[in-house]
Amino acid sequence: MPENLPIVEQTLEQLGADTPERVAALFAKVRSEFDQAVTAVSDEVSWHVLRDGWLGRKAGVLALVTDNWLKPSGPAMKPAVGRGLNELRGHVESAIEERRKQIEAQAAERAAAAERIDFSLPGVERALGTRHLVRQTLEEIERIFLRLGFAVVDGPEIETPYYNFEALNMPEFHPARDMWDTFYVDTPAPNQLVLRTHTSPMQIRTMERQPPPVRVIVPGKVYRRDNPDASHLFMFHQIEGLAVDNDITFADFKGTIEFFVHEFLGKSARTRLRPSYFPFTEPSAEVDATCIVCSGRGCRVCKQTGWLEIMGAGMVDPAVYGFVGYDPKKVSGFAFGMGVDRLAILKYGIDDIQVLMQNDVRFLRQFP
């Protein structure tokens, strides 16, 4: 029973309703209470509360009106009370039923709205990962050499000193081993292992596996015991190149490198070779390309020289062929090795190589 209707718990006599007009006024009061209550109902739960409160068989308002008003009234008042009650019942029942339909319709509409697809809404944007700048650069370099007929091969990052040094013409205690600050793997004495300091060991592994002609590039990670700074990482990426056949000359080497530089840095980039030393090439050279920052005029990046060193290279030393069973009298070839991370930062004007490893998405997003 709704709280604000204490009158239905009293009899008409107690309420002093002794004329049909007073009875009608009481019914009007009850009806207006009902009208307020029914408009306040907004969902299924409150609708059930309303229905039970008004139509409940024992304690509903209409049951109380029947018990307290109709039944005790005498013949003089009974017709008026009966009429009032009938009208009230008709009104309450139809209004409650009406409200039920409205609530159901609203619920159905809400459910439909939840399922309806609004084609004008922006789509859910899923952040796609992108290839890291180093990976992009590796792939770009690979594509250039693939066009020249080079094949791409992979090799192990943990190497034996034989492949990393010895077969590259550096016997144990050879001072040239000091060119690479090497990480040694903690293994029992005769089974020494190193983290490869360069991709050059794959020259040996490739030639061991196949007779000439050889034309491969080897992208991969290399490791050196260097303290990281703006131009050093202790893990970085190289691409090794090796071309061996029975008629390869220094001119082939130069042409290949010039093609690469034009493709990678642009047609206006020029190349120069400086004599150098590597145990596994003879003659050896360092390859410089026109500084891409200042186009050769001289700047901070190229230390005012106008040139950037981009790789070590040379003609494969005949001694190396001896380690892989090639006949040094019949074959010749060139090899080169370049630092991919360094090339990436040069190409994109990045002044600290370490950003490549820090994985700051604000940096990575600049290279979609």
| Chain contacts with ligand DAH (rule: CB under 6 A) | 198, 200, 240, 278, 281, 312-314, 335-337
CB of 285 to ligand DAH, least distance (A): 8
Q: Are 235 and 221 in contact (CB under 8 A)?
A: yes
Nearer to ligand DAH, 198 or 215 (CB): 198
Nearest by Cα to 168 from 321, 66, 354, 61: 321
Question: Which CB sits closer to ligand DAH, 61 or 353?
Answer: 353
CB 34 within 8 A of CB 41: no
- Contact status, residue 242 vs residue 203, Cβ threshold 8 Å: yes
Residue in 235, 231, 240 with CA at minimum distance from that of residue 223 = 235
For 25, the enclosing helix (H) or strand (E) is helix 20-40
Q: Could you identify the residue written with the tokens 């004495």?
A: 189
Tokens 């609530």 — which residue? Answer: 103
Indicate the residue among 60 and 312 with the shorter CB distance to ligand DAH. Answer: 312
9 or 226: whose CB is closer to ligand DAH? Answer: 226
Q: Residue 196: name the closest of 186, 184, 213 by CA.
A: 184
In the bound complex, what is the minimum distance in angstroms from residue 278's beta carbon to ligand DAH?
4
Residue 267 CB, nearest approach to ligand DAH (Å): 26
Q: What minimum distance in Å lies between the beta carbon of 230 and ligand DAH?
A: 19
**Which amino acid appears at position 31 of this protein?**
R
List all residues 6 or more positions away from 183 whose beta carbon is below 8 Å from its beta carbon: 194, 195, 197, 223, 224, 225, 234
In angstroms, what is the minimal distance from the CB of 358 to ligand DAH? 24
Q: Which is nearer to ligand DAH, 209 or 297 (CB)?
A: 209
Between 90 and 171, CB nearer to ligand DAH: 171
Terminal CA-CA length for the chain: 69
User: In angstroms, what is the minimal distance from the CB of 127 to ligand DAH?
Assistant: 37
